[in-house]
Amino acid sequence: MYPEDDDFDEFIKHAPRSLLKRTLVVDYLLGKGYLLSDLEALPPVVAKGLMREACRFATLRLVASNARENFYAQLSFQTYPN
Protein backbone atom coordinates (compact mmCIF):
# COMPACT_ATOMS: atom_id res chain seq x y z
CA MET A 1 0.00 0.00 0.00
CA TYR A 2 2.84 2.38 0.78
CA PRO A 3 5.84 2.91 -1.49
CA GLU A 4 9.42 2.37 -0.40
CA ASP A 5 10.93 4.83 2.09
CA ASP A 6 13.05 6.51 -0.58
CA ASP A 7 10.01 7.31 -2.73
CA PHE A 8 8.22 9.81 -0.52
CA ASP A 9 6.72 11.75 -3.43
CA GLU A 10 4.77 8.65 -4.46
CA PHE A 11 3.60 8.23 -0.87
CA ILE A 12 2.16 11.75 -0.82
CA LYS A 13 0.36 11.07 -4.11
CA HIS A 14 -1.47 8.23 -2.36
CA ALA A 15 -2.93 10.57 0.25
CA PRO A 16 -6.71 10.25 0.48
CA ARG A 17 -8.50 11.90 -2.42
CA SER A 18 -12.00 12.03 -1.04
CA LEU A 19 -12.59 15.61 0.07
CA LEU A 20 -14.25 14.65 3.34
CA LYS A 21 -11.69 11.98 4.17
CA ARG A 22 -8.85 14.33 3.25
CA THR A 23 -10.38 16.99 5.52
CA LEU A 24 -10.55 14.50 8.39
CA VAL A 25 -6.92 13.49 7.78
CA VAL A 26 -5.83 17.14 7.81
CA ASP A 27 -7.87 17.71 10.99
CA TYR A 28 -6.17 14.75 12.67
CA LEU A 29 -2.71 15.95 11.66
CA LEU A 30 -3.49 19.47 12.93
CA GLY A 31 -4.49 17.93 16.24
CA LYS A 32 -1.05 16.30 16.38
CA GLY A 33 0.63 19.61 15.51
CA TYR A 34 1.42 18.88 11.85
CA LEU A 35 0.34 20.12 8.47
CA LEU A 36 0.08 17.72 5.56
CA SER A 37 3.01 19.51 3.95
CA ASP A 38 5.10 18.96 7.12
CA LEU A 39 5.19 15.23 6.44
CA GLU A 40 7.74 15.71 3.68
CA ALA A 41 10.30 16.95 6.22
CA LEU A 42 9.76 14.02 8.59
CA PRO A 43 11.56 10.70 8.29
CA PRO A 44 9.47 8.45 6.04
CA VAL A 45 8.81 5.94 8.83
CA VAL A 46 7.37 8.67 11.07
CA ALA A 47 5.37 10.22 8.22
CA LYS A 48 3.91 6.85 7.26
CA GLY A 49 2.96 6.17 10.87
CA LEU A 50 1.18 9.51 11.14
CA MET A 51 -0.63 8.93 7.85
CA ARG A 52 -1.73 5.47 8.95
CA GLU A 53 -3.10 6.90 12.19
CA ALA A 54 -4.77 9.77 10.34
CA CYS A 55 -6.33 7.44 7.77
CA ARG A 56 -7.64 5.14 10.49
CA PHE A 57 -9.11 8.13 12.30
CA ALA A 58 -10.77 9.39 9.11
CA THR A 59 -12.11 5.96 8.21
CA LEU A 60 -13.61 5.45 11.67
CA ARG A 61 -15.24 8.87 11.58
CA LEU A 62 -16.72 8.14 8.13
CA VAL A 63 -17.99 4.73 9.22
CA ALA A 64 -19.60 6.25 12.32
CA SER A 65 -21.19 8.98 10.22
CA ASN A 66 -22.56 6.46 7.71
CA ALA A 67 -23.92 4.25 10.49
CA ARG A 68 -25.65 7.24 12.11
CA GLU A 69 -27.09 8.27 8.74
CA ASN A 70 -28.43 4.76 8.12
CA PHE A 71 -29.92 4.63 11.61
CA TYR A 72 -31.79 7.90 11.11
CA ALA A 73 -32.95 6.79 7.67
CA GLN A 74 -34.37 3.59 9.17
CA LEU A 75 -36.13 5.56 11.89
CA SER A 76 -37.79 7.83 9.37
CA PHE A 77 -39.28 4.85 7.52
CA GLN A 78 -40.72 3.17 10.61
CA THR A 79 -44.33 3.77 11.52
CA TYR A 80 -45.38 3.94 15.13
CA PRO A 81 -48.87 3.16 16.43
CA ASN A 82 -50.67 6.13 17.98
Domain parsing of the chain, residue ranges = 8-77
The whole-angstrom separation of Cα 60 and Cα 65 is 8
* Segment 24-53, tens digit of pLDDT: 999 999 999 999 899 999 999 999 999 999
Distance, in Å, from the CA atom of 13 to the CA atom of 74, rounded to the nearest integer, reads 38
Helices 19-31/44-77 angle, 10° precision: 120
Number of other residues whose CB lies within 10 A of the CB of residue 46: 12
Q: Please measure the distance between the N-terminal and C-terminal CA atoms of the chain and give it in whole angstroms.
A: 54
Report pLDDT digits (tens) over 4-13: 555 555 555 6
pTM beyond cutoff 0.75: no
